[in-house]
Structure 1
Amino acid sequence: MAQNVAFKKREEVDMAESTIWWLLAGGAVALELMTGTFYLLMLAVGLAAAALAAHFGLALTAQILVAALVGGGAVVLWHWKRSKDPKPAEAQANADVQMDIGETVHVAQWNADATASVKYRGSQWTVVIADTDAAPQPGLFRVKELQGNRLVVHKL
């Protein structure tokens, strides 16, 4: 009788395989939220697919295979999709990073070394022209990128 009670208690403690898969998927989502690694979310999709496979009564080997195929496939697809996206501009030429990109400056006079000094945003800036082949002429220029404390510009 005592042996039968111990056996019943052990049965109550055992979790269904699907519950374990759901907990693993939830843990992967929580870890993704802490790290910001989107690939963990793709692996969590694979773990959720394995939980569904467990609900359908597939064997443990099939559940692991489903988790690997769905999660790994999602990671590969996401990596492939990201490789097709255009690469962002370098920080010094990215308008999302530098607020000066796209702004206009007026150059009154160019120096012999193809630089100029302009007043921009309340201070003096050194300006260099992006197209070094053309002789710089005074006028309006648009900021193309920043190189240190120099504005690289092109003619409007």
Structure 2
Amino acid sequence: MTAWAIWLVLAGVLIAAELFIGTFYLLMLALGLVAGGIAALLQVSLEWQLLIAAVVGIGATIALRRSGFGRRRVRQATSDPNVILDIGQSLHVDQWQAQGDVYIARVKYRGAMWDVELVPGISALPGQYVIREVRGSRLIVAP
């Protein structure tokens, strides 16, 4: 088997492993292996093939890390609609009650009575509101 074919087989193995892991980092290293395979196809010496593969793989990994795709976005579970399906749903509030600097209400939502808290900085008027967060048994809403 020729050197360039070995490089491409190794790149294929990394791409297959990346499918199971779900990150793009192994894909970036596979790009480095493909670059090494191209260098081997151009009949560059083995030392230069290894150097090109390493530089391209590490460079692609660093570029991925600095981009928005390489960073994990940390969200609180209380405000993540993928965790709590009530987030984004609407409900109707008839009357707000001031409790210190927080406005609260008691509303019927999904067949049960819930405590509702208004997001700070919004005027407390009756009407339709959207659930933005769930803290325990209290729904945090905004217009």
TM-score > 0.5, shorter chain as reference: yes
Per-residue CA shift, 1:103-149, capped at 9, x if unaligned?
A: 32222233453332211122222111111x56744333222222222
Which residues of structure 2 form unaligned runs of 5+?
none
Return closer, same or farther for 1:136/1:60 CA change in 2, 3 Å cut-off. same
1:61 maps onto 2:47 in alignment:
yes
Q: Output the CA distance in 1 between the equivalents of 2:22 and 2:132.
A: 32
Return closer, same or farther for 1:84/1:49 CA change in 2, 3 Å cut-off. closer
Aligned residue number for residue 56 of structure 2: 70
Which structure has greater helix proportion? 1
1:21 maps onto 2:16 in alignment:
no
- State the AA in 2 paired with 1:55: L
Aligned residue number for residue 139 of structure 2: 151
Q: May I ask how many residue pairs the two structures share in their alignment? A: 140
Select 2:110's aligned residue among 121, 136, 141: 121
Which structure has greater strand proportion? 2
Moved more, 49-58 or 119-128: 119-128
Considering only aligned residues, what root-mean-square deviation do their CA atoms show, in Å? Answer: 2.7
Q: Output the CA distance in 2 between the equivalents of 1:106 and 1:37.
A: 42
Give SS of 1:101's match: coil
Instruction: Provide the identity percentage.
Output: 41
Return closer, same or farther for 1:41/1:134 CA change in 2, 3 Å cut-off. closer
Moved more, 90-99 or 53-62: 90-99
Contact preservation (8 Å) 2:119, 2:140: yes
Give SS of 1:76's match: helix
Select 1:102's aligned residue among 84, 88, 108: 88
Contact preservation (8 Å) 1:88, 1:94: no
Q: Output the CA distance in 1 between the equivalents of 2:42 and 2:70.
A: 36
TM-score (norm 1): 0.75
1:49 maps onto 2:35 in alignment:
yes
- Give the drift of 1:25: 0.7
Give SS of 1:109's match: coil
Per-residue CA shift, 1:21-41, capped at 9, x if unaligned?
A: 122111111111111121101
- Give the drift of 1:94: 3.2
Contact preservation (8 Å) 1:127, 1:153: yes
Aligned residue number for residue 90 of structure 1: 76
Return closer, same or farther for 1:25/1:83 CA change in 2, 3 Å cut-off. closer
